[in-house]
Amino acid sequence: MWQNRQTTRRSGGGPSAAGYALALFVAAVGLLVQAGVVRAESARVALVMGNGAYDSSIGRLKNPVNDAELMADT
């Protein structure tokens, strides 16, 4: 009455390891491309500092402040 069936997996019956790896690779590339697009569209910000106020042995410098203002305007 009871039949002894042995279940075997047929080749080609399901996704292979290579298929999973390919899907993971495609997803990773898609995320990296999307991150690059978002990064390219975002505004770029920089902190520009011109330190011209040194101690009395060096004195006050004009160029660092002028250079910082030029960089901020660029």
Beta bridge partners of 60: 53
Dist. CA 11–CA 18, nearest whole Å: 14
Provide the residue type at 56 as one letter.
S
Dist. CA 32–CA 25, nearest whole Å: 11
Dist. CA 34–CA 39, nearest whole Å: 9
Write down the pTM of the prediction: 0.34
What is the DSSP secondary-structure string of 51-73? --B--TTT-B-SHHHHHHHHHHH
pLDDT tens per residue across all 74 residues of the chain: 566 666 555 555 667 888 888 999 999 888 888 777 666 666 777 888 787 777 777 777 778 888 888 888 87
- At 74 the pLDDT is 76
